[in-house]
Structure 1
Amino acid sequence: MNAKRIGKQTVRLNEGVRILSAASTVSKKEGEGPLGKYFDKIVEDSTFGEKSWELAESHFIQENMQLAVKKAGLKMNDIDYLLCGDLLNQCTASTFGIMNFQIPFFGLFGACSTMGESMSLGAMLIDGGYANHTLVGASSHFCGAEKQFRAPLALGNQRPPTASWTVTGDGSVVLGRKGNFPCITEITTGKIMDMGITDANNMGAAMAPAAVDVLLNHFQDTGRTPQDYDVIATGDLGEIGRSLVVDLMKKEGYTLDGRYTDCGIEIFDKNKQDTHNGGSGCACSAVTFCGYYYPKLMSGAIGRMLFIPTGALLSPTSSQQGQSIPGIAHGVCIEGCGEKGVKQ
């Protein structure tokens, strides 16, 4: 009954699930960053023509998911299940963004780890024989996230050096069964980790232990080491969180070299763009994977990648009541096309 489970937290999919397409739509600031040329669409106005930031995020979701399906050569009625989430209360950005698609929907909240969660569950649905195609993704909006979790922008509050910048946009992929595409081969599901961090402006420190938990369990379950991967990319730990992960993994006997990076570091130039600790938000890892890493997996430039979006499971209520910030991470092992990657 547990033939697919290869360890405490990891499953190996029977034949691998193909990533048929990836689409990324971002706002102006993300387009001005180091990865700007890789995104499918850059929206100059972060309101996207809507009357609120929250509705703008729904607009990002709607247009980008339609683009992902189009790039896969499919139509919306070819999609069996849609899985996505965001940072707004009750995931309302996703609700209003996708409701007109009329596709069976699983709304997810993994905070900024949601892209890893949606890819994991979407792949499991296909591997289990419950779907032929799934559409999965994650979104966030800087202005909406600041208003909900920290302080409305109109207050002009000073941001501390540990703060990160929530990415505005949506990243989505279409998953399927067959074809010469990058392949999800293993999934390592994370546990909630809480080290007592209470500072909502220091997400990197709060989430780093969850990333370490996934890394350790993935390596132990698969028998691999960091050197068995061309790229290991965590979600949105930023500079501070990445440094913590490197130090904590070293204490466990693992050396993370230059192949380990973080999507929150890659997406912005922290000096030129004044983003402090780096990027964050559900869209951070989502658009970085879809825009930057997916083409490298397609070309064979990346043979095997470990993608670990990370999330901080706080809410405005828990923060106001002085509770700590639990972290979560979800690991997805992806093998690319060509000689370095999965054999099709």
Structure 2
Amino acid sequence: MLKGKQTLVFENKPVILASAAVGGPFEAQGQLAQDFDILNSDIWLGQDSFEKAEKVLQEQAINKAIEKSGVNQKEVQFLISGDLINQITCSSFTARDIGMPYFGIYGACSTSMEGLTLASILVDSKNANYAVACASSHNAASEKQYRYPTEYGGQKPPTAQWTVTGAGAVLVGQKGKGPKATYATVGKVIDAGIKDPYNMGAAMAPAAVDTIITHFQDRGIEPTYYDLIVTGDLAGVGHSIADELLKRKGLVIPSSIFKDCGLMIYKQDQPVFAGGSGCACSATVTYGHLLNRMRKGELKKLLVVATGALLSPLSYQQKESIPCIAHAVSIEMEEEEG
């Protein structure tokens, strides 16, 4: 059911039965390391390319989420997955080996909440009993594709961000114990005219603001309804811009509940420029740290607004601006049934 302009209501409230977060050696040094299920000590993960390493990250996350749920993998009816590599090949090769019916999606760094939205639609509509959604990124693979290979050692400005090496997966089911997906606000593509691929936060901030405002208008609630509202990877530059834009539009979110995954995942002394980014940024923070907090009773109502810059190396070379999008999912811990 649609509420307002862009917000889906999940009337049957699909349950997040389990989730998993995996990362690399740099994430193991971050401030959320304790919330990862698997931390790999080698960015190659024993493979001969970074792209193959990212495929392993996806497999680790998907298998761990299913294992934690106690559901037999043969009962999971759909896999929804996306990444940043050309034509989402990491996801497609993962799907090839896992063997589930597969939806490959590309929402750039908004892929985590796009995947959770689609998995929830399948389960809420009773077209699936179980669906798993995954999103991944790999620092070295993304640098090679979008910017320069890391061994090139190119200089970066302070507005640049550090792509998270990791993957997050979530298993959604019709019944069971756990947080529930209650609403999803599907974003529109917003283009602020920014062309600098080293300033993703500024490019994505207007899209995040548009989705956040729409979510509260569609639901008819105030920001304080939530215990926490997190953007995906606006990082230091974009998060401050989004906060200012929201205030200009008359929506004030208390700083105590308005956070960003790209500012949460790493420590301040790690050289990540403006903060973290990548599909795995919101995926690992949400499916690791934030859902762990919900299961501990520290959070009851969470809004995750994953942000994505929809550029490609080709569009950048042709001097196009960077269109962006943000998808928001409301996750709530309610009284357990049964």
- With the length of structure 1 as denominator, give the TM-score of the two structures: 0.96
1:101 aligns with 2:103: no
The answer to whether the Cα contact below 8 Å between 2:80 and 2:104 also exists between their aligned partners in 1 is yes
Percent identical pairs in the alignment equals: 43
1:264 aligns with 2:270: no
Deviation at 1:343, TM superposition (A): 7.4
1:171 aligns with 2:147: no
Helix, strand or coil at the partner of 1:28? coil
* Distance in structure 2 (CA, Å) of the matches to 1:63 and 1:42: 10
> Which residue identity is paired with 1:8?
K
Match of 1:85 in 2: 82
Match of 1:117 in 2: 114
Helix, strand or coil at the partner of 1:272? coil
> Which residue identity is paired with 2:132?
L
- Taking the TM superposition and a 5 Å limit, the aligned residue runs for 1:47-86 are 47-86=44-83
**Equivalent of residue 21 in structure 2, options 14, 21, 24:** 24
How many aligned residue pairs are there?
A: 337
The answer to whether the Cα contact below 8 Å between 2:143 and 2:149 also exists between their aligned partners in 1 is yes
Deviations 1:94-153, CA, capped at 9 Å, x for gaps? 111231111100000000000010000000011111100000010000000001001111
* Distance in structure 1 (CA, Å) of the matches to 2:97 and 2:271: 37
Helix, strand or coil at the partner of 1:46? coil
> Which residue identity is paired with 2:46?
G
> Which residue identity is paired with 1:7?
G
Match of 2:235 in 1: 238
1:305 aligns with 2:302: yes
* Distance in structure 2 (CA, Å) of the matches to 1:252 and 1:156: 41
Deviation at 1:262, TM superposition (A): 0.4
Deviation at 1:337, TM superposition (A): 4.5
- Taking the TM superposition and a 5 Å limit, the aligned residue runs for 1:183-194 are 183-194=180-191
* Distance in structure 1 (CA, Å) of the matches to 2:259 and 2:292: 17
* Distance in structure 2 (CA, Å) of the matches to 1:89 and 1:108: 12
* Distance in structure 2 (CA, Å) of the matches to 1:243 and 1:273: 20
Helix, strand or coil at the partner of 2:31? coil
> Which residue identity is paired with 2:265?
I
Match of 2:193 in 1: 196
Point out 4+ residue stretches in structure 1 off by more than 4 angstroms. none
Match of 2:10 in 1: 13
Match of 2:178 in 1: 181
Helix, strand or coil at the partner of 1:15? coil
* Distance in structure 1 (CA, Å) of the matches to 2:274 and 2:72: 39
Helix, strand or coil at the partner of 1:16? coil
Deviation at 1:63, TM superposition (A): 1.7
> Which residue identity is paired with 1:329?
A
Deviation at 1:193, TM superposition (A): 0.2
* Distance in structure 1 (CA, Å) of the matches to 2:162 and 2:84: 14
Consecutive unaligned residues of structure 2, counting only runs of 5 or more, are: none
Deviation at 1:77, TM superposition (A): 0.7
* Distance in structure 1 (CA, Å) of the matches to 2:13 and 2:307: 23
The answer to whether the Cα contact below 8 Å between 2:301 and 2:333 also exists between their aligned partners in 1 is yes
Deviations 1:261-318, CA, capped at 9 Å, x for gaps? 000000012x411101100000000000111000111122111110111000000000
Deviation at 1:75, TM superposition (A): 2.1
- Residues 74 and 343 of structure 1, relative CA distance in 2, 3 Å threshold: closer
> Which residue identity is paired with 2:107?
G
Deviation at 1:60, TM superposition (A): 0.7
Deviation at 1:37, TM superposition (A): 1.0
* Distance in structure 1 (CA, Å) of the matches to 2:47 and 2:91: 15
* Distance in structure 1 (CA, Å) of the matches to 2:11 and 2:288: 27
> Which residue identity is paired with 2:231?
T
> Which residue identity is paired with 2:82?
G
1:295 aligns with 2:285: no
Match of 1:42 in 2: 39
Consecutive unaligned residues of structure 1, counting only runs of 5 or more, are: none
**Equivalent of residue 275 in structure 2, options 255, 275, 278:** 278
* Distance in structure 2 (CA, Å) of the matches to 1:215 and 1:320: 31
Deviation at 1:180, TM superposition (A): 2.2
